[in-house]
Amino acid sequence: MSKSVARLLAESLEAHDVDRIYCVPGESYVGLTSVLVERNSMQLVVCRHESGAGFMAVADGRLRSRAGVAMVSRGPGLSNAMVALHSAHHDCTPMVLLIGHVERRDVGRQALQEQNYSVLLADTTKLVIEVIDPDQASEALARAFHTAESGTPGPVAVILPEDIFDLETEEPVDLPRARVVSGPRSEDLDRLADMLAASERPLLLVGGAMLADVVADPSVTDDLNRLSEEWVLPVSPTHRRPQLFDATHPNYGGYMGIRVPPAQIAEMKNTDLMVALGERMTDPVSQSYSFPTPPEPQMPFVHVWPDANEVGRIWRPSLGMPCNPSEVVRGLLKRGAPPDASKRRGWVDGLHKIHRDLLAREWEPTTDGVNFAAIVCEVDKHLDPDATITTDAGNFASFVHRYIGFRQGQVFLASVVGAMGSGMPMAVAAALRRPNTQVVAFLGDGGTLMTGNEIATAIQYGVNPIVIISDNAMYGTIGMHSYMRYPERPFMDGTRLTNPDFAAWARAFGAEAITIRDESDGIARAFDVKTRPVVVHCLTSALQMSAWRRYSEGESLP
């Protein structure tokens, strides 16, 4: 039966179980939006900026372990969405970006807002698919979702010329491909089991691909816990994946993220076997490519990642396993723990003690504003076991990683690569995806005025995140880097910000607002509001540059 291409696309999205699309409308794709609105089979969330829409789709991709979907208009719309694409690409997050395009007959003329997408997106997407033949529209979507979700996940762009939507087609919906799960070779599993059995001081890193497996199948969490307990293995969640292991579990071996505190990393470096389970091994995780050292790691190194292109790309692992990490966990459990696994108890306890000491809720007052540590410690007391925490990029987030004892039922969302502007949109997406659960966003004053306007989207769609703004009147992270590199230069110069009253700003949107001027100002009431978003505006110390560093001493605190 003949139908319009727009309808075929809508049915294809439905077949891929898309229930929500984040967008900023554009004239280039009204042909598709009008059909989507008419069918009403999925929610169109109209955002205030394409970066906001993009980050919401990234968050959705992370929350579902399926591609999140955003829709933007040609040149200008896409350009605004680039930061989210960059983030999804680096963070290995599945995402499909639908982009309206000029009419096919005008392609190449530099028609209004035309862009060469294959050139522009070459280094921020896994694939760019231009739909030239309207009969291939559904096939294009099926390929986009499959590519976005398989191997190393990432963003895929689908380019939709504006003249195709009303054309008629006889093509059927191209149905979704089954999810591909790859297991380890049994000889590799045997070798890993032998290496682990022989190891006195193993280190088990768990990262993004493990998290994707957990989201797809929550029982993976129990398997991981059992492996750690039966095999007596310390588990270290990697950069911005803290929810993979309970911070208070006695086998928690310390967080392997950006700038691990000296005491922790010194002990970690005594390992005799590093196993990266579903961690791509990024710059922050590898401690700026020093642990392990490329290309030859300083200790035996096992790399498990569901994509052979990635295993061996930078390091020469002792054993490379291009498969789903959860399958490795299950395979090891089946083989059974070595009889002398308890020989590692002292090693695991030692790592855990350093972590617990660092997690201690200790902080000291400052002279120029609130020590953000106090706020984060207070928030931690109010977090539900299934709360979502999002952070934007900035030094205020170091307090979140230091002082929040993440639990496995909690959800953490941020741009792993550290793109500013992610915190608020991700909170909106999480609140939509996880109704009736707490969603708390931590933002800096810098990031707030990048995408904070998406609080309007929260209000429009009736979701109520709690937004905590650390206002130190500067781009603090950069101030710190500048100070560390050039201590003789005036602190804050080049990074100072003149801010609005964020409480008044929040109220103008219809949100509730609380101002914190002192560590003793309570924020408990932020958790009681529940009927609209709450913004907690903290007048934060600039001298307390991060959870680890204070200006006057110029030294790490611990």
Ligand X SMILES: Cc1ncc(C[n+]2csc(CCOP(=O)(O)OP(=O)(O)O)c2C)c(N)n1
Contacting positions for ligand X (CB under 6 A):
83, 392-396, 418-421, 444-447, 470, 472, 474-478
* Buried-exposed string 226-246: b where 16+ CB fall within 10 A, e elsewhere: ebbeebbbbbbbbbbbbbbbb
Q: Which residue is nearest to ligand X (CB)?
A: 444
> Which CB sits closer to ligand X, 361 or 481?
481
Using the minimum distance from each CB to ligand X, give the nearer residue, 102 or 420. Answer: 420
Work out how close the CB of 253 gets to ligand X at its nearest, in angstroms, rounded to a whole number. Answer: 27
Question: Of how many residues is the chain composed?
Answer: 558
For the chain, the first-to-last Cα distance in angstroms comes to: 70
Picking from 280, 317, 307, the residue whose alpha carbon sits closest to that of residue 206 is 280
The rounded distance, in Å, linking the Cα atoms of 67 and 154 is 8
Give min distance, CB of 72 to ligand X, in A: 17
Give me the least distance between CB of 333 and ligand X, in Å please. Answer: 39
DSSP string, 55-90: HHHHHHHHHHTS-EEEEE-THHHHHHHHHHHHHHHH
**Cβ 418 to ligand X shortest distance, Å:** 5
CB 506 within 8 A of CB 469: no
- Output the smallest distance, CB 402 to ligand X, in A: 13
Q: Give the integer Cα–Cα distance in Å for 50 and 64.
A: 21
Q: For the CB of residue 239, give the shortest distance to ligand X in the complex, in Å.
A: 14
Residue whose CB is less far from ligand X, 263 or 497: 497
CB closer to ligand X, 244 vs 542: 542
- Separation between Cα atoms, residue 177 and residue 241, nearest integer Å: 28
Least separation in angstroms between CB 187 and ligand X: 43
Q: How far is the CB of 272 from ligand X (least distance, A)?
A: 36
Least Cα distance to 99 among 75, 127, 120 occurs for: 75
Q: Which is nearer to ligand X, 417 or 456 (CB)?
A: 417
Structure tokens at 473: 């009147």
Backbone angles phi, psi at 72, to 5 degrees: -135, 165
What DSSP string describes 174-185? -PPPPPP--PPP
Q: Give the separation between CA 129 and CA 167, rounded to whole angstroms.
A: 19
Tell me whether residue 147 or residue 422 sits nearer to ligand X (CB atom). 422
Min. distance of Cβ 463 from ligand X in angstroms?
23
Beta carbon nearer to ligand X, 300 or 394: 394
Instruction: Name the minimum Å distance from CB 176 to ligand X.
Output: 33
Contacts (Cβ under 8 Å, ≥6 apart) of 408: 221, 243, 244, 245, 246
Q: How far is the CB of 145 from ligand X (least distance, A)?
A: 27
Determine the Cα–Cα distance for residues 465 and 44; give it in Å rounded to an integer: 20
Closer to ligand X at the Cβ: 72 or 233?
Answer: 72
Is the CB of residue 201 less than 8 Å from the CB of residue 233? no
**Closer to ligand X at the Cβ: 273 or 535?**
535
Structure tokens at 357: 């000491």
Q: Which is nearer to ligand X, 82 or 107 (CB)?
A: 82
Q: Are 470 and 483 in contact (CB under 8 A)?
A: no
Identity at 384, one-letter amino acid code = D
HSE at residue 437, side-chain half, CA atoms within 13 A, is 19
Strand 168-169 and strand 3-4: pairing? antiparallel
| Amino acid, res. 545 | M
With respect to ligand X, which residue has the nearer C-beta, 29 or 372? Answer: 372
If the CB atoms of residues 371 and 477 are measured against ligand X, the closer one turns out to be 477
Q: Which two tokens stand for residue 189?
A: 């599993």
> What angle, rounded to 10 degrees, do the helices at 325-335 and 208-216 form?
80
CB of 37 to ligand X, least distance (A): 32
Helix (H, G, I), strand (E, B) or coil at 467: strand
